[in-house]
Structure 1
Amino acid sequence: MPSSVLFEIMLIGLLGIGSQWAAWRYRMPAIVVMSIIGLLAGPILGLMDPEDDFGELYNPIISVAVAIILFEGSLNLSFKEIRGLGRPVFRISTIGAFLSWILGSLTAHYIADLSWAAAFVIGGLFIVTGPTVIMPLLRQSKLKPRPAKILKWEGIIVDPIGALLAVFAFEIISYLTAENPDGSALITFLAASVFAAILGWACGKGIGWMFEHGYMPEFLKSPAVFTVVIGCFTLADVIIHETGLLAVTAMGMTLANMGISSIADMRHFKENVSILLISAIFIMLTASLQVDTLLKVFDPNIMGYVLLMMFVVRPLSIFLSTIGTNLSINEKALLGWIAPRGVVALTVSGYFASILSEAGYVDASLITTITFALVFTTVVAHGFSIGWLARKLHLSLEGRPGTLIVGSNSFTVNLAQSLKKVNAPVMIVDSSWERLRKARAAGVPYFHGEMLSEQTEYQLDTNPYEYMIAATEYNSYNALVCTTFMPEFGRTNVFKVSPYRYDLHSMGDTVNKVAGRILFKKELSLDQLNHKLSNHYVFRQTSITNQYSYKQYLNDKDEHTVLLYVMKPSGHMRFYTEEIRVTPEAGDKLVSLTPPGKEIKKLRKRLANQKTDSGNKPVNDQEM
């Protein structure tokens, strides 16, 4: 097998993205899969050792990747998002972090038997959770918005604080244990932290100003942002190690709250880069661990420390810091349990292990082992339990995938009613109260607002909805909605009514290939669908069984019937489009828009009389 660095880079990419795909395919926590694959490829099978093979480039690569990930996460920290959550987020990020530091340090000293210096350093380090572990968990768990936002804000804000707290603890210990104490190092550290925050703010303001005033062409915006992020991180980090994380967090938050449209346009691109980096560095970090480090994990003191951190320190710090807030007991219980440690803890622990070792602390070698033990245990435990616990505490949005319909008219209202009858969540969004009158009269859930406005983004919770249908009378607007929300919902889950116009025999004013799959058939525009309803077409539900197959249904149906969607027993739907082939199976329910007439009566009579020899009930074919 080739042993070149190039081959190893290729292997890291394949294993990282392969782990992400396997986690998505089999509904497993991605960070758990990546950790296990990294251990298999590294210390267990010996396929690679990135730390040894990359040499001096290993730590800079990891550091830059963490900086980009943290910056990308902080771009989502708009202050508008935490309306009503400011107090819990502030308490957890300050009082909660401080309590976690003190309690964690005491636990490390008395249970893991670390010296006071190593204990307070590792205690500061372990207050972090971070976007590398929190974001994948939030994507998989479908938490309600409130606890999800708190976990996200805590993870991104506390990440640099934890690293700085570890540095601060080391500086304090060094000052107190020195023969000739000199407070200049502490003053330098505090000054460097303030400088890093100001530097990040200035970089964010500077690049935001350039974007707003047109001093940066579109094709250079993403490269320019990444270059400034790396420069901002490096400049701060050179002055005092780990202050670079504070700088990029400040830069991201500054840009997030400037309201620059081009930043929002680039966010999805940066999310993709972030996923690639998370996959790569998780594989690199776990593959670089040594076998003796893994074996030390089973030491009773280390195992006891990990259990106390999970079951005592974290819950206690959350419950004490949130006294007097409006968080419910269930929310506190979930927040008190979910605190997986990730990339920042693993990377920074290696730095402090070497620093403490050079300072003469013999227990410094245990820091890496304890860090890996806590990281791997929390990643596995919280990764597999967050969904189950959220459901038990009624904080999960689990259920049948819903459909968000943009545009209120006769067809969309009737479509929403049919979805309600198969117990699928549905919501109609429109900016016109007049158009929403039909939805209100039909008892269909609705939201009054402009789908593309920033206000709607913060007021409308889109988490319960897996599918989106743009069905207004404006074809260009439908295409724009699909393009905007395609990254959030996925290319295969965003649909639009056909822009086809019979009078022009064309696709109207919108190119067919613009984002959003065309529903049903390209000849069926919204006008045509509404026209069918005015001609007394009805929504009909047909059960596909072993006795009445899909092939039989196709042979029996009226030629003017419009096939709409198929509801699976699992609750997932398949909408009919010209690009996606839908083949219902036994147990599925097929919903169609069916014309009235004698043929339907014949079909219903035939279905009613069709029974098996065993006396099964007739196939269900009913009007909705």
Structure 2
Amino acid sequence: MSVHVDLDLIALVAAIVAFGVTAQFLAAKYRVPSVLFLIVAGVTIGPEGLGVITTDTFGEALSTIVGVSVAIIVFEGSFRLEHETVRNAPRAVWWLITVGAAMAFVGTALTVRLLLGASLDVSLLVGALLVATGPTVITPILAVVPVREEVATTLETEGIVNDVTAAILAIVLFKAMTAQELAPRGYVFLFAQRLGMGILTGLAIAGVVWYLLTRVDLPEQAAPQTARLLALAGAVVAFAIADSVFSEAGIAAAATAGFTLGNLELPHRESILQFNQDVTLLVLSFVFITLAALLEFSELLALGVAGLAVVAVLTLLLRPLLVFVSTAGGGFSTHERLFISFVGPRGIVPASVATLFAIRLETETPPSDPAGAEVLLGTVFLVILVTVVVEAGFARQIAAALGVIQSDD
């Protein structure tokens, strides 16, 4: 049996990895979040640039690649979230992931409905996806913008939790949109079903990994490497099991497994953490460059001035409003509240899920909704592009102007 090796694809993957490493190097050197360089690299090699990557390059495997990558990214972020830190986190964290998320969902949906004239279904879908701020963008920002621990914890926790809830809420709404037969309580049931499945799977896999690492004797020289690989395998397995039962439950499973393992007494914890961070940088680079490469400016330009108005409302009105409501009396200074307001870039989860939904709306949904697909994809990517370029690109300057940067000493 002969095996065909696509050398062009291998060269492309190698180039993407090289771009990713270069982006990380430039980010470290110039103290600018790496996602800015990753998007530039993606657009450069995409259809709007050199045309090296097209929608057919990875085919149907793209959603799987992105899904597993997101699981690893979310696992790493939640692994770093210590229970004590979260428990002692400002009350604003809990308001942001509840009241703030609800305001973001409703406010975004209304804005898209009124300014773009989208259908109610598509508006709600966009609203759900753009709830997620996302650790994929927040973490690189905080890596080069040192702020007070309470501010960083608030932004990171909001990103991790909202990534999970946004993805699950979006898939529930999409299922309702395509089925057209869900009663109101059906939404709640589908949401609880996926969240519950994800949490249970994550806890179970975390328990297995913990048992193997603490109760099984391993040769001393092999133990650190085994610990690192078991933790990574736990993230992928938790995602795969939960997602195979209920779509989008995998993200909740990866987050639960990461948070649980990160708060257990594990041998070689620092080695696991460092390995997770290295792997996450690699997959984050690959996914961001690939999705940015699939960006088509025609979809953004089709939204016209109304599209820019949507971005302006979401970033300049809605985000500050929900942040100031959520952080009222939360122990933050006005300048810190303004910084949190200005740092709400969207990342991988809305980009990947929106791409998947748009494909299904154009090809699978009866009846097909190509117009809805264009509004969905165009709006989500426009918000991602503007918020990443502006908020991530100028995060350090914004923090410096507001006087919230902490000394590196």
Q: Same fold (TM over 0.5)?
A: yes
Instruction: Please name the residue that 2:99 is paired with.
Output: 95
1:191 aligns with 2:193: yes
Q: TM-score, normalised by structure 1?
A: 0.60
Q: 1:284 to 1:385 in 2, by over 3 A?
A: same
Unaligned runs of 5+ in 2: 1-5
Instruction: Please name the residue that 1:401 is paired with.
Output: none
Asked if the contact 2:74–2:255 (Cα under 8 Å) also holds between the matched residues in 1, the reply is yes
Instruction: Please name the residue that 2:385 is paired with.
Output: 376
Which whole-Å CA distance do the structure 2 matches of 1:181 and 1:384 have between them?
43
- From 229, 238, 249, the counterpart of 1:232: 238
Structure 1 stretch displaced more, 54-63 or 258-267: 258-267
Which whole-Å CA distance do the structure 1 matches of 2:7 and 2:114 have between them?
44
Structure 1 stretch displaced more, 267-276 or 327-336: 327-336
Matches within 5 A, 1:486-525: none
Deviations 1:337-386 (A, max 9, x none): 11010111110111222344414443222211111111110001112332
Which whole-Å CA distance do the structure 1 matches of 2:235 and 2:98 have between them?
26
Instruction: Please name the residue that 1:386 is paired with.
Output: 395
Structure 1 stretch displaced more, 329-338 or 217-226: 217-226
Q: What SS does the aligned partner of 2:271 have?
A: helix
Deviations 1:315-350 (A, max 9, x none): 111112223422222222111111010111110111
Q: Which amino acid aligns with 1:348?
A: V
Instruction: Please name the residue that 1:327 is paired with.
Output: 332
Q: 1:311 to 1:50 in 2, by over 3 A?
A: same
Matches within 5 A, 1:64-463: 64-82=68-86, 84-173=88-177, 177-178=180-181, 187-214=189-216, 218=223, 219-296=225-302, 299-357=304-362, 358-360=365-367, 361=369, 362-398=371-407
Asked if the contact 2:72–2:236 (Cα under 8 Å) also holds between the matched residues in 1, the reply is yes
Q: Which amino acid aligns with 1:371?
A: V
- Using the TM superposition, give the Cα deviation of residue 105 of structure 1 relative to its aligned residue in structure 2, in angstroms: 0.8
Q: What SS does the aligned partner of 1:323 have?
A: coil
Q: What SS does the aligned partner of 1:224 have?
A: helix
- Using the TM superposition, give the Cα deviation of residue 309 of structure 1 relative to its aligned residue in structure 2, in angstroms: 0.6
Deviations 1:542-561 (A, max 9, x none): xxxxxxxxxxxxxxxxxxxx
Q: What SS does the aligned partner of 2:322 have?
A: helix
Q: Percent identity among equivalent residues?
A: 26
Q: What SS does the aligned partner of 2:393 have?
A: helix
- Using the TM superposition, give the Cα deviation of residue 88 of structure 1 relative to its aligned residue in structure 2, in angstroms: 1.5
Structure 1 stretch displaced more, 100-109 or 206-215: 206-215
Structure holding more helix per residue: 2
Asked if the contact 1:199–1:247 (Cα under 8 Å) also holds between the matched residues in 2, the reply is yes
- Using the TM superposition, give the Cα deviation of residue 394 of structure 1 relative to its aligned residue in structure 2, in angstroms: 2.3
Structure 1 stretch displaced more, 241-250 or 20-29: 20-29
- Using the TM superposition, give the Cα deviation of residue 171 of structure 1 relative to its aligned residue in structure 2, in angstroms: 4.2
Q: 1:8 to 1:321 in 2, by over 3 A?
A: same
Q: What SS does the aligned partner of 1:261 have?
A: coil
Q: What SS does the aligned partner of 2:199 have?
A: helix
Q: Which amino acid aligns with 1:286?
A: A
Q: 1:349 to 1:290 in 2, by over 3 A?
A: same
Q: Tell me which of the two structures has the higher relative contact order, counting C-alpha pairs closer than 8 angstroms and 6 or more residues apart.
A: 2
- Using the TM superposition, give the Cα deviation of residue 291 of structure 1 relative to its aligned residue in structure 2, in angstroms: 4.4
Which whole-Å CA distance do the structure 1 matches of 2:283 and 2:94 have between them?
29
Which whole-Å CA distance do the structure 2 matches of 1:191 and 1:26 have between them?
45
Which whole-Å CA distance do the structure 2 matches of 1:84 and 1:228 have between them?
28
- Indicate the RMSD between aligned Cα atoms, in angstroms: 2.2
| Structure with max Cα Rg | 1
1:46 aligns with 2:50: yes
Q: State the aligned residue count.
A: 396
Structure holding more strand per residue: 1
- Using the TM superposition, give the Cα deviation of residue 239 of structure 1 relative to its aligned residue in structure 2, in angstroms: 2.0
Q: TM-score, normalised by structure 2?
A: 0.90
Unaligned runs of 5+ in 1: 399-463, 466-624
Which whole-Å CA distance do the structure 1 matches of 2:109 and 2:187 have between them?
22
